[in-house]
Amino acid sequence: MRKILTLLLLLGSLFMPGLAQAQTTEPPVIRNEAIVDYPQSVRFQLEVDPAFNVVDAVLNYDVTQTACLDVSTQVPVDVAGSLIDWEWPMVRSGNPPPGAELWWEWTLTDDQGNTTTTPRQTLTFSDDRFDWQTVQEGNVTLHWYAGDEVGPLLLDAAVSGLALLEEDMGIELQEPVELYIYGRTEDMRDAVLYIQDWAGGVAFAEYNTILIGVVPSQAEGWGRDTVRHELAHLVVGQYGRSCVGGHRPTWLEEGLAMYAEGEPSEQVLSDLERSQENNDFAALRSLNGPFPAHGDAAGSAYSQSYSVIQFLQDEYGIKKLQDLLLLIAGGTGTDAALEQVYGFNVDGLESEWRVWRGLPARTYPPTPTPLAVEMIPTVVPFAGPQDYPTPLPIAEKGVEETAVPQPGNSICALGLIPLFALAFIAQKSQRTKI
Ligand SMILES: [Zn+2]
């Protein structure tokens, strides 16, 4: 399975004379390549003419991504002979998704103290286990290999989801996105290190890339909803990107993604009906942080979040939602941002929403309880790049052909969302340690 996928590039690249600090005989590069064993590792190899006596070599590489702080990795590599070799084990940093672009260059010093840098080279990570087909519309490119109708169908879901976000929320896709639709969940998981064993899809926000495992028989239902849901996370993430630590509360993040799925599913409607009858909606403040990942409580949290977004949209309109997202992105806390835009905090929002739904008033503690640090789960130490894993439709665990995906089950791993920045920082620090 871990076959060598992409291996390249450029033989015999000559050094750029202009970059040399002191001119010397330009060392002919016999071979300069990166051998990818995706998603496990990349082995960089540089072979220089033995006549050029390299005493010091530094490898500089990075994967192109959207990030607030993107620092390339510089690695001093031991030199023994004319073959210089170093392996990047992605097991330590998490792997980039297919489609991500790697660049690298070598800086060499010879025994006379002359330094020169090889021209920057690039390669694109790919998952060559499958014979991918591609469809594209506007800024959305979708790759798939199983079921002829799956690609066009899910591309249509993506494009219509984007249109809904734009029309109803005034939020547009800012950067192109790539979707990789695997024909089986297992195939998708094998492309991602450290993915949760219940995940059916994952969004790599920094790469604007989404991976989802969609059995062709589930494309129309679960696949369509999940594409729109995950795409909404990326679009809202682009719109509300924060480099100052602003975190959207989970009810806002997930409510917007649910809203982008389109008309509420039967599951959402029945969740809302049940909670309305039992008067057992969660305190909205408790939905600032992670949701339960499974079970009725998880479903209810999503459905309630959807309803809150529907309320804000219907009663206050697009502009205020945009203002809220941008204020939070600018580092304003959720309560303060709500106060500034709507004149109420999270508890006040819940009160208004309950009136809107015809629910009896609830009492609130006089002082809002801040989200305690201990309520945030620990980030997994490897802190891979996946931000929004989505569980499988329950049916996929059973017989595929008779599968009936649960309509409201396009659920993300909510625990990870508020930790996005932490995960990002951890990832970068891991990488720079390499
Ligand atoms: Zn989600």
427 near 419, Cβ under 8 Å? no
Residues 6+ apart with CB under 8 A from 332: 246, 340
Q: How far is the CA of 430 from the centre of ligand 1 (A)?
A: 26
Q: How far is the CA of 216 from the centre of ligand 1 (A)?
A: 22
Q: How far is the CA of 146 from the centre of ligand 1 (A)?
A: 24
pLDDT in tens, 315-355: 999 899 999 999 999 999 999 999 999 999 999 999 999 99
pLDDT at res. 434: 25
Q: How far is the CA of 76 from the centre of ligand 1 (A)?
A: 41
What are the sequence ranges of the domains in the chain?
A: 17-127, 133-432
pLDDT in tens, 16-52: 433 444 444 566 889 999 999 999 999 999 999 888 8
Which ranges of 279-433 would DSSP assign to H, the alpha helix?
A: 295-316, 318-329, 334-342, 346-357, 420-433
Q: For 17-127, which CATH class?
A: mainly beta
pLDDT at res. 328: 95
Q: To the nearest 10°, the Cα dihedral for 419, 422, 423, 427?
A: 180
pLDDT at res. 2: 43
pLDDT at res. 92: 79
- For 332, phi then psi, to 5°, come to -75, 140
- Nearby residues for ligand 1 (ion, Cβ within 5 Å): 254, 257, 412
pLDDT at res. 217: 94
Q: How far is the CA of 121 from the centre of ligand 1 (A)?
A: 36
pLDDT at res. 262: 86
Q: How far is the CA of 64 from the centre of ligand 1 (A)?
A: 25
CATH number of 133-432: 3.40.30.160
pLDDT at res. 412: 55
Q: How far is the CA of 411 from the centre of ligand 1 (A)?
A: 5
Secondary structure of 381-396 as H, E, C letters: CCCCCCCCCEECCHHH
Tokens representing 321 are: 């939602």
Q: What is the mean pLDDT of each run of 10 residues along the chain (434 residues)?
A: 39 38 63 94 93 91 83 90 92 89 94 90 95 96 97 96 88 92 93 81 88 94 91 90 88 91 90 94 93 77 95 94 94 96 97 96 70 36 39 41 29 37 32 26
Q: How far is the CA of 339 from the centre of ligand 1 (A)?
A: 25
pLDDT at res. 26: 65
